[in-house]
Amino acid sequence: MLERIGSRRLLIVAALATAVIVGVFSVTNLASSTVYYLTPSEAKLRTLPTGQLVRLGGLVKVGSLSIRPLSFHGPNEFEFVITDGSVDVRVRGQGAIPGLLREGAGAIVEGSFTADATFIATQVIAKHDEVYTAPTAGATPAHRTSLP
Amino acid sequence: MIETTLERGVGLRIRPWLGIAAAASFVVASFMALIWAPADAVQGEVYRIIYVHVPSAWLAYLAFVVVFLASVGWLWSRRPLFDAIAVASAEIGVLFTGLALVAGSIWAKPTWGVWWTWEPRLVTTAVMFVMYVGYLLLRGLSTDFQRRATRAAILGVILVIDVPIVHLSVLWANSLHQLPTVLRAAGGPALDSSMLLTLMVSVAAFTLVYAYFMSARVAIELVRQERLWIRT
Amino acid sequence: MNRIALVAARELRAERRQPDGIVAATTFIAVLVLLESLVVGPVIARDADVAAALFWIALAFATILTTMRSFDRELEDDALDALVALPGGRDALFGGKVLALTAMLLLVAAVGGILSLVLLDLPLALPIHLAIVVLFGVVALPPVVIVDVILALRLRARAALVPILALPVLVPQLVAATRGASAALVGDDVGALSWAGLLFAFAVVYAVLGLTIVPAAIE
């Protein structure tokens, strides 16, 4: 009886160990395909077909952001370059802009590539980090929602 | 019977003080969060939702870990008090998971630009919410005290697996949600000392509210156990 | 081990005599495959991700259906109490049910999968990889569902309760199975095998969890 319990426990431990090894191996293989967004480099590597809906994430390149209101209080026409340091992607689109979108900060765009490698965004999401600080004297917060 | 009287007596003596402490700390936390703490350099005033969002999420974790511990306690000793603690904590946990989701959503719209997006932290939190709603449903549909407590306890043990998954989900590559601010892997908390103090006071206030709710809900459950099922 | 095989054989014999579980599950999947193309249109229905997602969601519900049917049959025959009373009966119950239901669902999945491939005219790049993903995907579903059915045993509203309990826990498995099947359809061999490996890991973890926890759950 004791022997049987012992061998059963061994079987369970062995099964769990195999499961963990196979699981870890699979997850490391899959790390790139379960992502919420692709970086511009990953998108370039995969050569996505035009028109396929993807999310692209990176930093808004300093000096590239231009927002033009189409009408008073209406939607905006925007254009900026999203970068991960090595690959740049030009993003264009119309619609609402999140209050935290700014140059040098993180952003995620949803949309698709056109034939000339421009990214047409249907949605822009701003990403912000976990750091919070008080504003220095005289500076206005970058957040824009309170402005018209 | 003696046990119940004892439990209820201790609860009765502590509860008013817990209530007063919770209410007082809530007033202090509200003042600090809305007036005393400075605005954020990047987000401006919007960031103040952090003083509701983070404590709510913390309470959700705390409550579900308490469900787990009480479930193990029931399976171990079959003391009805453990079952009362489990149901009380699960109900409060569902409430604060919902509050964390709603507050997070309200915070996300003006900052990220969307109410909701299918991102790891958000999805795992929503799944956690649904799981514990299922836990409460299982309890609500069961009719026999011993069986209900045992079945719920087993579920309470299984479901706790999702709590660390929710917390660690932001560490997966390429997520949108910001990383933990206070419990950072490297370095100290990444916020101003006045903000950190406000956040700490808010978390303390929410925890006192949890303790107050718990004492009240456990007492109700003990009475119910006595009325509906003859306890041994 | 012997008792587990006994429980499984008994289950399969009952199902062969009166195959209502398999018939219901297969019909269910077939109807959903037919509906899919009508509802979302032929172009979207042929998308590898959409077809795979619908197949696995249908199979998850089919698993719930057959498992509940299997336990209801035990209750109708008053066989569950006798089984539990046997020495080692509780452990064998879980193991045997997992084996029998996995075998039944493999049949359902094969029929449903072939129907999907033919009716939706899906492009199939890697048939053997797809078979491996379906195998491990099917293996990953029953352990979770059986635990939840046992927790909801004899409750009046169990038909509503079991999906609510099982589906949130099955989310990772369903995502893995969908991605794996889709990867096999479009020809990503490493992706398909990795997802299959993950499904295998899920199956083992929940089977072990079930074996340790189910004896306590049965009164």
Span B167-219, pLDDT tens digits: 877 776 567 787 777 766 666 677 788 888 899 999 999 999 999 999 999 98
Q: What is the pLDDT of residue B87?
A: 96
Q: List all chains that touch chain A, counting a touch as 3 or more CB pairs closer than 8 Å.
A: B, C
Query: In terms of domains, do A4 and A51 share one?
Result: no
Confidence of residue A2 (pLDDT cuts 50, 70, 90): very low
Substitution target from A9, A24, A26 for chain C, most C beta carbons within 10 A:
A26
Query: In terms of domains, do A119 and A49 share one?
Result: yes
Q: What is the pLDDT of residues C158-199, one digit of tens each?
A: 888 999 999 998 988 998 899 899 989 988 888 888 889 989
Smallest Cα distance from C144 to chain A, Å: 16
Q: Do B40 and A97 touch (CB under 8 A)?
A: no
Query: In terms of domains, do A66 and A4 share one?
Result: no
The kind and range of the H/E element at A55 are strand A54-60
Contact (CB, 8 A) for C166 and C185: no
Nearest beta carbon to residue A16 from set C191, C197, C208: C208
Q: Do B157 and C213 touch (CB under 8 A)?
A: yes
Report yes or no on A77 lying in a domain.
Answer: yes
Smallest Cα distance from A11 to chain B, Å: 22
**Is residue C35 over pLDDT 80?**
yes
More confident residue, A46 or B160: B160
Say whether the ipTM exceeds 0.90: no
Most distant pair of Cα atoms in chain A: their distance: 82
- Count: domains in chain A: 2
**Is residue A148 over pLDDT 50?**
no
**Inter-CA distances, A52 with A49, A55, A119, C114, C126, Å:** 6, 10, 11, 28, 23
- Count: domains in chain C: 1
Query: In terms of domains, do A53 and A67 share one?
Result: yes
**CA C203, CA C143: separation in Å to the nearest integer?**
7
Q: What is the pLDDT of residue A136?
A: 67
Query: Which range marks the domain in which residue A18 is found?
Result: 1-34
* Average pLDDT of the segment spanning C145-170: 89
Nearest to C138 by CA among C74, C196, C51: C196
Query: In terms of domains, do A18 and A49 share one?
Result: no
Report yes or no on A121 lying in a domain.
Answer: yes
Report yes or no on A145 lying in a domain.
Answer: no
Query: In terms of domains, do A8 and A55 share one?
Result: no
Q: What is the pLDDT of residue B232?
A: 47
Query: In terms of domains, do A45 and A81 share one?
Result: yes
Q: What is the pLDDT of residue C2?
A: 77
Q: What per-residue string of b and e applies to A136-145 under the rule 16 or more CB within 10 Å gives b?
A: eeeeebbbbe
Q: What is the pLDDT of residue C122?
A: 84
Q: What is the pLDDT of residue C137?
A: 93
Kindly list the residues from chain C whose CB atom is less than 8 angstroms away from the CB atom of residue B142: 155
The kind and range of the H/E element at A108 are strand A106-113
Residue B82 identity (one-letter amino acid): F
**Is residue A5 over pLDDT 60?**
no
- Rounded to 10 degrees, what is the CA torsion of B213, B216, B217, B222? 160
Query: Which range marks the domain in which residue C195 is found?
Result: 2-217
Report yes or no on A57 lying in a domain.
Answer: yes
Confidence of residue A137 (pLDDT cuts 50, 70, 90): low
Smallest Cα distance from C111 to chain B, Å: 31
Q: What is the pLDDT of residue B188?
A: 66
Report yes or no on A137 lying in a domain.
Answer: no
Query: In terms of domains, do A55 and A28 share one?
Result: no
Query: In terms of domains, do A49 and A90 share one?
Result: yes
- B168 — contact with chain C (CB < 8 Å)? no
Which residues, 6 or more positions from C139, have their beta carbon under 8 angstroms from its beta carbon? C102, C199, C200, C203
Q: Do A36 and B174 touch (CB under 8 A)?
A: yes
Q: Do C147 and B158 touch (CB under 8 A)?
A: yes
Q: What is the pLDDT of residues B103-134, one digit of tens each?
A: 999 998 888 888 888 888 888 899 999 999 99
More confident residue, C155 or B152: B152
Which residues, 6 or more positions from B87, have their beta carbon under 8 angstroms from its beta carbon? B136, B139, B152, B217, B221
Q: What is the pLDDT of residue A140?
A: 58
Query: In terms of domains, do A52 and A104 share one?
Result: yes
Substitution target from B133, B142, B168 for chain C, most C beta carbons within 10 A:
B142
Q: What is the CATH number of the domain that holds A84?
A: 2.40.50.140
The domains of chain B, with CATH numbers, are: 2-228 (1.20.120)
Query: Across-strand partners of A66?
Result: A79
Query: In terms of domains, do A106 and A70 share one?
Result: yes
User: Residue B222 corresponds to which tokens in the numbers above?
Assistant: 């003990």
Q: Do A132 and B174 touch (CB under 8 A)?
A: no
Q: What is the pLDDT of residues B46-57, one digit of tens each?
A: 889 999 999 999
Q: Which residue of C has its CA nearest to B130?
A: C168
Confidence of residue A1 (pLDDT cuts 50, 70, 90): very low
* Average pLDDT of the segment spanning A81-108: 85
Q: What is the pLDDT of residue A145?
A: 46
Q: Do C168 and B155 touch (CB under 8 A)?
A: no
Q: What is the pLDDT of residues A21-72, one digit of tens each?
A: 877 777 776 655 556 788 888 888 877 777 778 888 888 888 888 888 777 6
Query: In terms of domains, do A45 and A16 share one?
Result: no
Q: Do C169 and B158 touch (CB under 8 A)?
A: yes
This prediction has a pTM of 0.85
Substitution target from B68, B151, B166, B168 for chain C, most C beta carbons within 10 A:
B151
Nearest beta carbon to residue B44 from set A38, A123, A143: A143
